[in-house]
Each structure stands twice: as C-alpha cells, then as structure tokens.
Structure 1
Amino acid sequence: MFTINIAGDASSALSHFALLGLAAVAEEMGDNSVRLLWSLDSEPKAQLRSIYDPLLIAQRIRELATRWSEDSSWVKARKNYAGKQFAPFSPRIKAIDAEKSPHDWEEHHHIRTSHVDQLLADKRWLDLSFISALGEPSYWHNEKKAPRPDHGASRWEMKTRNRGEEFVQHRLSLMVDELSSWTNEDILAGIQGKQVHDPLGKNSPDSRTSTGLTPPGPTDVALAFVGLLGIASFQLAPQVKEKSVTPGAFPPQALHPVLMVLPMSSTPISLGRARSVLRSEAIACIGGELVRTGDIGTTAVVSASKWLLEHGINAVALFDIKKAGSSSAPERQVQPGSVLPLG
C-alpha cells in the first residue's frame, strides 16, 4: 500500500474534503481497498492509503481534468437563459422566468439529462456522484411567491455569485483548463503541500481558489480541485417543501449554515464508511445540539458519540462558517476548525 499525506491538517476543511476527493478518484480507478485516516500528531494530518502509486492517482486527476476541459464535456455545456449565458450544471443560477422564456426549463433539463445519460452509458461514476451532490436549481421551490432556485443546491458549493458568476462556468471550468496542462508531479506536489501554485487566484492574499473551504488566500489549484471533488461524498437529501439537506451543514435548513461537522478516524476506514457516517443521525445530532445549545455534554451528544466510536470514528472536526460579502452576493467561508475527541 502507498500512503499520500495531504496538505494542511485537521483544522482545514479543505484537507478533509481533499481526503474524500482523493479517495473517490482512487476508488474509481478500481481500488476497492482504499482507506482514509488521520495521523496521531498534535495537529492531525489527512492520509490516504491506496494500492496505486501516488503518481498514478495524480495522472488520473490530470486525465479527469483533461476530459472535463473538452468542449463535449458536461462542464463545458452552456445555455442562454433570457439572453444571459450560464452552465446548466451549476447548482445555483439566476431563477428562470417561465413566462418570459417558456422554453428555458425544457432546454435546461434536456441538456442535463442528455449529458447524464451519456455519463451513465460511459460508467462515469465519479462524475455522476459529483453532479448529484452539487444539486440543481430547484424549480419546484417558491418562497413568498418568488422562485428560490438556490434551495436545491449543496451548501458546500460556495462560489461567490458576484457579477452574475456561477460555479461551473467561472470556477470548475477554469480549474480543469488549468490542470489539464500540469504534470503529474506538479499535481501530486500541490496535493501534498509541497508547492502552492495558484494562477487562478494570482497567488493573491485575496485568492478565492479554495472556493470557501478556507478563508481567502493562495491555494494550490490541484489541492482545491481535489477538495471540490470531495463534495461528491456529501450526497444531498432533496426536499419537496424545504431546502435540500447537505450532510455536515448546520442548521440543516439554513441557506447559510453557521457550522460544519466532519467525522475523523485515526484508524483506516473505507470511503463507504466515511460517506455513511457523514449522513448518519449521530453527526446530525451532534451538529444540531451544538447549534441549539452549544453543549457537548448532553445525553443526545453522548449517545451519538458512542455510536460513532463503535463505527470507527474517534473525533469530529468542528468549523464555524463565516458569511461575508454583500447582501446581493453573500459569500460563505469555512474558518479554521478544532478537533473534538469522542473517546
């Protein structure tokens, strides 16, 4: 088995998401024995164990970026909505006006379903998991008689929508274009924290390359991309009358959650175990209690902690989420977190 040490430590949500994203890449390559864990250091480090050489995993990431950068890719799909171009796979776009542009929803869904059908035929499971976890504009949601398309999106898609920008066209697409020209060695170096190459954010202290998973600052594009792939492990629970529920986000019905709760294990666990724990009642209980009371000693939290320990999780990472930006273009930024041991 090979071990990849991921940049950062447990106080960075980006490291957590990158661990999940990297595991998803290795699993799609065929490694059913891939394992995730955190070191026992005073500042725990994320580690991935895989049967594949780290450079082979980096190569697969480059190949994925190259495929997504092709004009025929779902990442490059575009449509004009009432005269303005958006990416149909962005989970948060301007509300579609069915009266002024009656064919927009029909065309929007045709583009999405045709790409999804092709991905199914090609067995692109990571693509499909990622698309599913991102969510989609919720055409079925209204609030005070106004459409609320953002209610169907993952809370972890945090691209600032100033100047009409959106996630796929103005962040993901630019990332894959950039990474498709990188060497395997550079991709691996970025993931491991041996370099920070951020041409998208111009290596600026104000860079948003991490897309909300850290406060603003230079972030290696390869690390950020793998972190965004980690969203695939946070599968949404769509709701008919409420906002779609995003695992790990609290309060679960807040458009702008204030707390992120992520499980940690110092012993190797599978990606499937990590994903199931993320969606567990135990994580929901701990997050809910912390938001409601701030008390980690309640009977409910103690019971949830016991369940997590029985399932190989010996700590949770807690992250406050800052709401920055303006009222018209709010921005979520996950702040440096802390580790709460359960045992």
Structure 2
Amino acid sequence: MTNKDVDGVFTSLIYVNQQRIIPAYETKDFRITDNGIETLLVIPAINAKVSFTGLMFSIYLPWDKFSGNTEGQCGTCDNNRTDDCRLPNGTIDSSCPDMAHQWHVAEHNNSQCTTPPPEPTPTQPPGCDPPICHLIQSEVFESCHKIIPYEPFIVACIFDTCSMDNVTIGCPSLQAYADACAQAGVCIEWRNYTNGQCDFTCEKPKVYKACGPQVEQTCNAWYNFKFIQTQNEFSVMGDIQLEGCYCSPGTTLMSSSSNYCIPSCDICPLPNGEWKEANETWVSNCQECVCDPYSLEIQCQPVACQHQPPLTCDQEGQVKVVETVDCCQMDKCGE
C-alpha cells in the first residue's frame, strides 16, 4: 500500500503480488477496502486489521492471539507501555524514536530500508501546549475515553506540534485516536471542532462523511452482493463505521472503479467508464444507439440515411464523386 500524487490528488495505490488492484478486493484469507481516506486490510483468521492513511500505518492485533508475540515497531504486546521500546538485544531504550532505527529489515540492496542515523530529537519550546491536542481529552471524544486510553495520543500530538511548529501537524494524532475509536466501534465526528485546521476535502463529486461504511453501495449488483450483502467471515469486521469520501445523499457510486455519483442506477455503462441514462440516444461511429430502459443494454443500428434522387453531372469537365457527410454517402458533381 502506498500513496501517490495523481494530478494534484493523493491516490492510494494498492498492490497484491506486484499487481495493482482496485478495492474492494477479497481472497479467502483477507479483504482490502478503501474509502478515499483510509485503506483497510482485514485478516479474519487472526482477527487483525492494518490501516493506511498516507501518513500513518496502524496495526490492530487481538490480545488473545498476540500477547507476548510482537516486537520492534509494534512494541511488546503485554499491555505494559514501559517495555515497548525494546531493542533487538532485549534491553529497554528510553526513546521509542531511537529504538525504531534499530529494527531494520534484513534485506540486502534495498535502499528503502537503508536509513541514515537518526537526527537529534528536536527540542520543544518551553511552555508549548497547543490547544488542538487537548481536543482529544475533551467532550468531543468523551464517548471513547473509557474504551481507548487517550493519554499517548495527546503526548504524540504535543510532541509533533511543538517540534514542527505547525499546528496542523497535530491533526494526524487526532485522526489516529479517532481511527482507534472507530476500530473499537465508536465513530466520532471530530474535524468540525478543529476550527478548519484539520478539514479534509474529497475529490469531487464525493463528499466527506465522518461515519460511513467500509464498502460503499454501487450500481453494480454483483459487487454489492459479494462485498456488502454476503454474510461471511469478513462481515463482523466490515460493520465498522469509518470517516471517508462518499457519494452525497440521493446519489449512488456507479462502480467501485469509477468516480461517478449518479442520481439513478438505470444507466448503460460505456466502455470508456462513462454512462448513458435509460432512453438516452446518441450517435457513435455512425451508429444510432439507445440505452434500452428494460434491459439497460446499449442497442445500436447504422445511421438512417435519406434517399438521394439520381444525380446527373452534365456540365463539361464534371464527374460524379461520392462523399461521406454525417455518416451518409452522397453523390456530388466535382471537377
């Protein structure tokens, strides 16, 4: 999973076995969904979830399967934060950022895994206490406080915001806490309380929703049946409400691979990804076509041409030539 700037819009690029896929995507082992903000991978066999938002990876592992079974970036899964910054040799580092650089992937000739020595930790201005970070402990997130401890998120928010001297850098911490709450079943509309500092703009025509489905309804009945209506091992994990970009009320996403929100699913899809409404007619490649309202299939026939009376070219030097005008052949006199 990665993120790429495509024509000014950051787009999630997701690959499975070196082949790019368009979510929702599912095998017998895992499902991948994407809602324009978050890409989510779920693995029902181990009840694990991995989310990617472009700036952050979050990994959710169940205690009953992973207790004492993690290390490195994930820390030690023992519900004790004091030993999370464990080095490969077993000792505890006082700084998790310093510890992280000791866990390199053992893969040769991989420039992405060759990291220079960490830079000195930036010093924070004395008395720096950005208000945006304390939104986490406010009543906005109150319904989640008893489910997900919020103190680590405040600490991270203050550290990032004060170190970077940029108030918007605190938004990922709020987003991370909101996502953790959502994964626990508590969806919170929080961006409206940041005075515009953490606003998110979706690619048109989609609009932002604080709480939406992992898989959005489309006009493709097969897709809806497979990823929404079918009850299987993914269903329990698929009921989580997440923030994302969705079609506005009264419209439906044409297909999972399109960015068209249409008022009615009575349409005929075209090969180029666009569509025509039921009963709509048009001319294409000298064919008169109609979107049949009953079958929702495109029906075409050659353009009807008017009968031309016989043409006589009796002037000196004139010859009869045939020209194509508006898809119809016409006799003309030419020299």
| Bigger relative contact order (CA 8 A; separation at least 6) | 1
- Do Structure 1 and Structure 2 share a fold, with TM-score over 0.5? no
TM-score, normalized by length of structure 2? 0.24
**Structure ID, larger Rg:** 2
Q: Larger helix proportion, structure 1 or 2?
A: 1
TM-score (norm. length: structure 1): 0.24
Q: Which has the higher strand share?
A: 2
